[in-house]
Amino acid sequence: MHIVVCVKQVPDTKVIKINPKTNTLDRRGVPSIMNPYDAHAVQEAVRLKREYGGKVSVLSMGPPQAEAVIKKSIEIGADEGYLISDRAFAGADTLATSYALTKALEKISSASPIDMIFCGKHAIDGDTGQVGPGIASRLDIPPVTNITSITKVTKDYVELQRKLQDGYAHIRTTLPCLITIEKEINEIEYAPFPNMLKAVSCQPVVWNVDQLGEVDRKQLGLKGSPTVVGKMFAPPKQEGGHRLEGSPQEQVDQLLHVLQEKRHLFHKKGGAAV
Amino acid sequence: MPEKFDVIVVGAGPAGTSCAYLCAKNGLKVLQIERGEYPGAKNVMGGVLYKQQLEEIIPEFWKEAPIERPIVEQRMWLLDEESAITLGYKGQAWANEENYNNFTILRAKFDQWFAKKAQEQGVTLINETVVDACLVEEGKVIGVRTDRPDGDVYTDVVVLADGVNSLLAKQLGFHEEIEPAQVALTVMEVLNLPAETINERFNLEDGQGCTIEMFGDATKGHLGTAFLYTNKESLNIGVGTTLSSLVNSKMKPYDLLEYVKNHPIVKPLIKGAEEAEYLAHLIPEGGYHAIPKLVGDGVIVAGDAAQLVNGIHREGSNMAMKSGSFAAEAILLAKQTGKYTEEVLDIYREKVYESFIGKDLEKYKDATETLENHPQYLKEYIPMLNRAARTFFTVDGISKQEKQRGIFNMFMERGKIRTVQDMYRAWKVMK
């Protein structure tokens, strides 16, 4: 079985600041990390490889330093990495990104057919969650999003659990398919030492736009991106919670009152808290 | 069979990276293991890097290394509660490239750069990995056990550059549990301030820096120092005292730092600066007597792990680099003989003790203990000197001779014999 995981290097949004004047992200000195959902996607692919055999490849689009996320994937247990890197890809929105990645996936697939494509459910910088389904649409394979568990894999189909707004859906879908991964699907394992050594010496395959075969350049980068960012603003800071004051007895009474008022929040439906 | 390396270096600070760099440069297969997310992520020092020892490894490193400012002025303040006696040296000689003496650096940036240079020489660097133990077979170190699954790695020789309080050297029985009087806890902040403001407040030309060391009231009279160093667009301010004085006085290190920041002599210099980072670390202060066993079969201890810090002269990273270089020399020699025994590697110990490292540490071997046992130097004499200076420089109709007599009597109030004893003791430990 061949699983390809699409991974992205993102600024660490935990430390990012917003320039209060321009409302744009101030990326100065902000470290780049692997999109956390993508790490879970790689981990899940590695788990399936362990159970069913096969190979895990990772694919990323970005500047040369995006190599770091491929190395990170090798640490987790991926076997090989591909990076598409070219000025022509710069400024791509989700539409253009899914086009470029699809071209790379087609090339990978021509050498070694792909059974499943994994993506993180979304990237923490853009939060759109559009690239995965975009790729599935271009490849005309089923997209299954927000997956919290992969329960069974055969050579024809896969069974999974999908997170919905008020519960879970158990689905079966045919292969090949594209799956986007939620964090709760697994815990990232502490990588074995030999993987760490392998990651240091790993040289990902790097393709520029000319090496991707027949590509419609009009669909790449800024040119291929119809998305226009109208305005950016920082979300309002969360206000502090309500504080209960008074004697312990008064505080307990107030707390009970609050809990009574909000009791509907604790009602269970279908085994999961809503 | 797992991969085998010629050398495994534990730690990616100045000692470890110097050793790894030189070993790899000379063709050895080197694995360097760092517990932090990246080299420098967990490393802290006040911020002064001396030029010479790194220059010997990478000539003209300052042209590309992320240094902050070359230092042209070193000030020393003997602080009382609201005054200071100031001493210092400023010279344009240190402003010329060929005569650079030292620089301020930010370790997170600098250590990454240095490690990158070592990687360019062929060092395999693994981050985010803790070495739990040395693998020992028949008394000889043959590798390390990391905390990762399948984590054993084998080698001819292990260099322990794992920093102050080296648990690995302790496991091997090279030193006892470190005493609270043998380490200082240093806390510091990086304060952002525009370059022009720094230049004005510290009377500096663009691209030149100054360091200030503070004694006395900066540590409320306890054994230690405070410091204020100029970076490009920030200041490093910090204070370090021995762990034992913190314990005995029940002082909290961050309270002490706040005290220094609000000291009337310090406050105007850092006014309006924005707190960017807070760091804390142990610094070895045990000196000569605390140096552990440095060499064993298949193992060498270097840098802070070997307690190679001269607290009196705030030298540490340079000694770390020099000891790392000596370790590399010894390993290359051992490689030629094919034997990594204690006898062969012992050349490392000799080099350390015969160089300025051993000599300087020996010179001040009793200084820390003396100052710890005789707190009057920092607690009484510094305030007295401040009072004496104020008396002497105040024009109030009293004759200079009378003032001198008053000052003399003030010093002798402690008893003539005691004062003479104190002076003799101070001369003896510093000579």
Report the share of chain A in percent with pLDDT over 70. Answer: 96
Residue A266 has pLDDT above 80, yes or no: no
> Measured between beta carbons, which residues in chain B are less than 8 angstroms from residue A188?
none
Closest approach of chain B CAs to the CA of A85, in angstroms?
A: 23
Q: Is A193 on the interface with B (CB under 8 A)?
A: yes
**Shortest distance, CA A200 to any CA of chain B (angstroms):** 7
Contact B146 A193 (CB under 8 A): yes
Q: Cα separation of B268 and B271, whole Å?
A: 5
- Residue B258 to residue B238: CA distance in whole angstroms: 10
CA nearest to A33 within chain B: B37
Structure tokens at B2: 């797992």
Alpha-carbon span A210 to B113, nearest angstrom: 34
Q: What letter represents residue B164's amino acid? A: V
- H or E element in which residue B28 lies: none
Contact A197 B146 (CB under 8 A): no
What's the pLDDT at B395?
Answer: 94
Report the distance separating Cα B350 and Cα B355, nearest Å.
8
A196 touches chain B (CB under 8 A): yes
Q: Which residue of A has its CA nearest to B145?
A: A193
Q: A196, B129: Cβ pair inside 8 Å?
A: yes
Q: Which of B3, B124, B149 sits opposite A192 (nearest CB)?
A: B149
What's the pLDDT tens digit per position in A217-232?
A: 999 999 999 998 887 7
Nearest CA in chain A to B147: A193
Instruction: Check CB contact under 8 Å for A197 and B129.
Output: no
Minimal Cβ distance to B150: which of A192, A200, A201: A192
List chain B residues with CB under 8 Å of A67: none
DSSP secondary structure, B100-130, as one string:
--EEEE-HHHHHHHHHHHHHHTT-EEE-S--
Indicate whether A224 belongs to any domain: no
In this structure, is residue A241 part of a structural domain? no
Across the interface, whether the CB atoms of B153 and A201 are under 8 A apart is answered no
Which residues from B are below 8 Å from A194, CB to CB?
A: 2-3, 150
Please answer yes or no on whether B151 and A192 come within 8 Å at the CB atom: yes
Q: Indicate the DSSP class of residue B378.
A: I
* pTM higher than 0.90: no
- Alpha carbon distance A146, B306 (integer Å): 52
A190 to chain B: which residues are within 8 Å by CB?
147-149
Rounded to whole angstroms, the Cα distance separating B349 from B360 reads: 15
- Which residue on chain B is closest to A29 by alpha carbon? B109
Q: Say which CATH number the domain at A196 has.
A: 3.40.50.620
Task: Give A-chain residues touching B148 at CB under 8 angstroms.
Answer: 190-193, 196
Whole-complex ipTM: 0.85
Is pLDDT of A268 > 90? no
A45 compared with A271, residue with greater pLDDT: A45
Q: Which of B30, B150, B154 to mutate to test the interface with A (most CBs of A within 10 A)?
A: B150
Q: Which of B124, B147, B149 sits opposite A197 (nearest CB)?
A: B124
Q: Tell me the pLDDT band of A273, cut-offs 50, 70 and 90.
A: very low
Q: What are phi and psi of B299, to 5 degrees?
A: -150, 145
Q: How many domains does chain A have?
A: 1
Average pLDDT along chain B, 431 residues, taken 10 residues at a time:
87 97 98 96 92 95 95 96 95 90 94 97 97 96 96 97 94 92 94 96 95 94 93 96 91 94 96 94 92 97 95 92 98 96 97 96 89 86 92 92 90 83 85 79
Q: Do A197 and B125 touch (CB under 8 A)?
A: no
Task: Please give the sequence-ordered ranges of beta strands (E in DSSP) within B290-329, or none if there are none.
Answer: 295-296, 299-301
The residue assigned the tokens 């470029």 is A100
Residues in chain A closer than 8 A to B2 (CB atoms):
194
**3-class SS at B87?**
strand
Find the residue in A nearest to B30 (Cα).
A197
Record: contact A193-B125, CB cut-off 8 A? no
CB contact under 8 A, A193 and B148: yes
What does the angle CA A243 – CA A249 – CA A254 come to, to the nearest 5 degrees?
A: 45
Q: Do B124 and A201 touch (CB under 8 A)?
A: yes
User: How many A/B residue pairs have CB atoms within 8 Å?
Assistant: 31
Q: Is residue A237 part of a domain?
A: no
Q: What ranges do the domains of chain B cover?
A: 4-66+106-175+292-354, 181-284, 368-430
- Tell me the mean pLDDT in the region A1-26: 84
Cβ contacts of A197 on chain B, cutoff 8 Å: 3, 124, 126
Asked if B150 and A191 come within 8 Å (Cβ–Cβ), the reply is no
**Does some domain include residue A264?**
no
Classify domain B4-66+106-175+292-354 by CATH number. Answer: 3.50.50.60
Residues of chain B that touch chain A, judged by Cβ-Cβ distance less than 8 Å: 2-3, 124-126, 129, 146-153
A197 touches B: beta carbon within 8 Å: yes
pLDDT reported for residue A202: 93
Indicate yes or no: CB of A200 within 8 angstroms of CB of B124: yes
What pLDDT does residue A274 have? 39
Q: Which residues of A touch B152 (CB under 8 A)?
A: 193
The answer to whether residue A144 is domain-embedded is: yes
Whether A193 and B124 lie within 8 Å, measured CB to CB: no
What's the topology of domain B181-284?
D-Amino Acid Oxidase; Chain A, domain 2 (3.30.9)
Q: In sequence order, what E strands does B34-108 have? A: 48-50, 67-79, 84-90, 102-105
Distance CA B425, CA B409 (A): 20
User: What contacts B90, CB < 8 A, 6 or more positions away?
Assistant: B72, B73, B74, B210
CB B171 within 8 A of CB B134: yes
Residue A128 has pLDDT above 60, yes or no: yes
A15 touches chain B (CB under 8 A): no
Position A61 scores a pLDDT of 97
A174 lies in which domain range? 2-219
Neighboring chain B residues of A193 at a CB cutoff of 8 Å = 126, 129, 146, 148-153
